[in-house]
Structure 1
Amino acid sequence: MTIRLRTRTAVAALSAMLLLATPVATAQALSGPAPARAASTAAATLALPRPTGPYAVGTEVLHLTDHGRADPWVPESGDRELMVSLYYPARPGRPGATAPYVSTGEARLVLTGAGLEGTVQPAALSELGTHARTGARTAPGHLPLVLLSPGFGNPRATMTSLAEDLASRGYVVASVDHPYESVGTELPDGRLLTCVACEKMESAPTKEAREELGRLLSTGRAADLSFVLDRLTGRTPGWRNSRMIDRRRVAVAGHSIGGSAAASAMLADPRFDAGINMDGTFQERVPASGLGERPFMMLGTTSHSPGGGDESWDQGWQHLDGWKRWIGVEGSGHSSFTDVPVLEDRMGVTLDPSVTLSTDRQVRIARDYVGAFLDQHLRGRHQRLLDGPTPRNPEVVFQQP
């Protein structure tokens, strides 16, 4: 089984963010020829795509500590600490400032890791335009909850565009940073955590050791996600607006190792009603007993094809016993389901030359198919988009193992 954690790819994807204010010569050295606009566009004019739903979007960051678990990667650091960005439907109006894409401290860590400190200002990352506003009043209603887990090495920020869009469509979204599994996570007290798990994966001596680390990542993230769900929906909720969450309608989704963690979370916790794996190898095998007939969607590149190189998708598909879809996107790449294509487009650089889809198509497909899945399974609204191929989406392939 291929371990699809993409440690180096994750770091390279983050390197895309660093080029927002990089001179053309540096951009060319890292990524090949770049259009002149990559050097002249000011960071302040760069922004994520606008959300498509009818709601304004509010956001708040939570720092949560699981006192029942020591951190699995750095046990001497004490209890497991998590950073969570919440996105929620908000009332009209524009109170508060838009949230930073990443903190300045996190930006500095990414810059240092890429050897670009002093070349790119941290503000080029932290001031990337977002659309969610702090301090926004919650919209009325009792709404479904979606938990998101990012790829290995990536901060939760790389899921921001999808999170904002889902919130604009009427979902509460919790995007989770898994400490020591990202190149940069800043805690409220100023501590800056690096990717210790990445270092362990890089130094693993055997394929078996890497597979075991992959399983630990997936199951450990599942525990993180269940803890976040506890804090958002339990008797003593950790978020002041938890009353707007409908605990009977909860989904979990993720990219890469986060997609594997979505399946692991469903295996471990029956409170997750539906799940999505976006282009991630299943690090924990789906057992023959399946997921208890709960719906699950596998959305990824066409390199994940039946009988292809990743046998975990074939095995997982066979054991999924509820509503299920295996959807491939022709012309996409591993990071097409994250913010990375947007960052590449804004900078005029290319990190994955195999991707032939436009940025707009990558963003639209990810938003539309994830949104349709959630509307169908958390809101009970049948979505024709999930029934099969459509003329408007010729790149989308419904795999038939």
Structure 2
Amino acid sequence: MWRCGPRAQDGRVTDIITGPQMSLLEILALLGAVALVVARWLPPAARPPVTIAAGSVFLLSALVLGAVGIRWQLLPVLAGGLLVLPFAVSPLVRQRTGRRARRARWWLALPGSVACAGLAVTGPVAAWAFPVPVFPEPTGGFAVGTRVTQWTDPDRPETATPEPDDRRTVVVQLWYPAEPSPAGTPRARYLGRTEQEARTVADALASYSGLPGFLIDGVPEARTHAVADAPVARDGGRFPVVLFSPGLGGVRTQNTAWAEELASHGYVVAGLDHPYDSAAVVLADGRTIATEIASTGDDGEDDRRAAETTRIRAADLGFVLTQLGRLDRGELDGSLTGRLDTGRAAVTGHSLGGGAALQAARQDGRFAAVVDLDGYPRDPDRGPFRQPVLALTQELGPGTDERYIPRLTEVLGFSTATSYRLTVPGAAHLTFMDGPLYLPPVPSLVGSLGRGRSPRVVAATTLAFLDATLRQRPGDLAGALSAYGDLTIYRPGDGH
């Protein structure tokens, strides 16, 4: 194996600058609140008109927001404006009634003005830290469609329930190349088919992560670039397929930006919900299955459970590939009949899903390539497998599990094809999902690549690898990958 470091970033993916993502009404309320604070410090002749205008804008905006719904991020803005409003308006009222206007001395008014201004500023800061996610525009030549389906495996019992007749069911979301939709066509929701499903999943994700649900209450409002049930693209022939397993407690949509980018370049991506493992799975009959995964506090027992969960996920991935083959042959109803090239299939995953992807590839030779997004290998029966692997890892540091890289190196060395490990500088574990689009930009949490650049880097490296392995496109794959980080190449027979 050999290593090379990152190349210069000229001409590469650049970050997308995103603001606090406030609506016009919210901006007007903010400006009104700030202007009310500032009016106290203006010359006497300017105070009345500014106060009247600012108060009117603030009150009208607050009333309309109260009717249409107030985001929690705006509560400090409203609190600051309501606190300063009586003090700003009182001198005007006294003046109108002929009484002498009395104003507090500057050294008494200053702390209150600073406090109210601070509350007003907290609003856009909170909106910036916890925004409604805005997904990057896919760069490929295809529009993107999406649909959700549910499949039950008659040959596998559901081990998470005591019912002997219960069979393993998975919910699968497909992103695929589509015909362009007319302007104004509604885009698919991010976390679910309906608003209720999106909010159910968001609440479950927050609960699983230990976050108050209100912090990410804007995420269910997000819209993606895909159109639900859009017609499949007429051009492009048969598309390679990419199966995706999310992280522990994750959901099928957690890598939507990545999936849409791949689909726009001519791949069909199938993201899985794993019942009793994903944070929440909403079935076709409306039932919601919550995760039953929880830490026991015993590292050995947790590792054993993680290995069992990985085994079940690997079987789920193989089953879905079988179903996609049936869909292509017309044995299942769907618009993708005759358009899926399951002979060119990659298996991918994030975190625990990455470990499941590696295990699925070893067990199922139908998969032609593997992408492991910062996933720890847990397959107890490590042995040779033929598929090339791209393993993307976070920036390594003192907090990295000391077993991770040696274990990953060992597994990559079992591949009889050339494999790659790319350590991305500035990446954290959640860099490899949609988290940077809606979580606070704390480097230890989502890395330091930025909201726009994080999904672009993950998609660009994945596309380079898939184009080379599934489509056999010529080019310098090692050079393309090394532009994004510290690349280690594992060649068969190197003895690692």
- Which of 178, 201, 217 is residue 90 of structure 1 equivalent to? 178
Tell me which residue corresponds to 1:3.
Answer: none
Tell me which residue corresponds to 1:181.
Answer: 277
Q: 1:341–1:362: 8 Å Cα contact kept in structure 2?
A: yes
- Which of 412, 419, 433 is residue 324 of structure 1 equivalent to? 419
- By how many angstroms is 1:49 displaced? 1.1
Tell me which residue corresponds to 1:371.
Answer: 463
* TM-aligned CA distance change 1:369 to 1:187, over 3 Å: same
- Which of 305, 321, 341 is residue 436 of structure 2 equivalent to? 341
CA distance in 1, matches of 2:162, 2:443: 35
Report 1:2-401 matches (<5 A): 21-23=71-73, 36-40=123-127, 46-76=133-163, 78-94=166-182, 97-102=186-191, 103-111=198-206, 114=210, 116=212, 119=214, 124-140=218-234, 141-196=237-292, 198-199=293-294, 202-203=295-296, 206-234=298-326, 235=329, 236-237=331-332, 239-285=334-380, 287-288=382-383, 290-292=384-386, 294-303=387-396, 308-310=402-404, 311-344=406-439, 348-350=440-442, 352=444, 355-387=447-479, 393=483, 395-399=484-488
Q: Deviations over 1:74-95 (max 9, x none)?
A: 3438211111110000112238
CA distance in 2, matches of 1:111, 1:207: 24
* TM-aligned CA distance change 1:296 to 1:360, over 3 Å: same
* TM-aligned CA distance change 1:371 to 1:99, over 3 Å: same
- Indicate the percent of aligned positions where both proteins have the same amino acid: 30
CA distance in 1, matches of 2:320, 2:378: 21
- By how many angstroms is 1:46 displaced? 4.1
Instruction: Give the residue type in structure 1 aligned to 2:432.
Output: F
Q: Deviations over 1:306-359 (max 9, x none)?
A: 995413112112212212111111111011110001112xxx553735823223
- By how many angstroms is 1:228 displaced? 0.8
- By how many angstroms is 1:206 displaced? 3.5
Gaps of 5+ in 1: 1-19, 27-32
Instruction: Give the residue type in structure 2 aligned to 1:250.
Output: A
User: If you compute each CA radius of gyration, which structure gives the higher value, 1 or 2?
Assistant: 2
Tell me which residue corresponds to 1:5.
Answer: none
CA RMSD of aligned residues (A): 3.1
- By how many angstroms is 1:112 displaced? 5.4
Question: Which structure is richer in relative contact order (CA contacts within 8 A, separation 6 or more)?
Answer: 1
Q: 2:130–2:216: 8 Å Cα contact kept in structure 1?
A: no
CA distance in 2, matches of 1:112, 1:283: 26
CA distance in 2, matches of 1:147, 1:334: 20
- By how many angstroms is 1:148 displaced? 0.7
Q: 2:137–2:225: 8 Å Cα contact kept in structure 1?
A: yes
Q: Deviations over 1:185-208 (max 9, x none)?
A: 111211111110x22xx12x6433
CA distance in 1, matches of 2:428, 2:211: 25
* TM-aligned CA distance change 1:335 to 1:353, over 3 Å: closer
**TM-score for both structures, normalised by structure 1:** 0.81
- By how many angstroms is 1:59 displaced? 0.5
Instruction: Give the residue type in structure 1 aligned to 2:221.
Output: E
CA distance in 2, matches of 1:299, 1:120: 29
Instruction: Give the residue type in structure 2 aligned to 1:184.
Output: A
- By how many angstroms is 1:384 displaced? 2.2
Which stretch of the first structure deviates more once superposed, 372-381 or 108-117? 108-117
Q: 1:279–1:304: 8 Å Cα contact kept in structure 2?
A: no
Gaps of 5+ in 2: 1-69, 77-118, 192-197, 490-495
CA distance in 2, matches of 1:307, 1:339: 23
- By how many angstroms is 1:243 displaced? 1.7
- By how many angstroms is 1:399 displaced? 2.5
Q: Deviations over 1:197-246 (max 9, x none)?
A: x22xx12x643322221221111111101111111112523544132101
- By how many angstroms is 1:21 displaced? 4.3
Q: 1:372–1:383: 8 Å Cα contact kept in structure 2?
A: no
- By how many angstroms is 1:43 displaced? 9.6
* TM-aligned CA distance change 1:168 to 1:304, over 3 Å: farther
Q: Secondary structure of 1:336's partner?
A: helix
- By how many angstroms is 1:248 displaced? 1.3
CA distance in 2, matches of 1:383, 1:238: 38
CA distance in 1, matches of 2:375, 2:182: 37
CA distance in 1, matches of 2:381, 2:124: 47
CA distance in 1, matches of 2:407, 2:154: 33
CA distance in 1, matches of 2:436, 2:403: 24
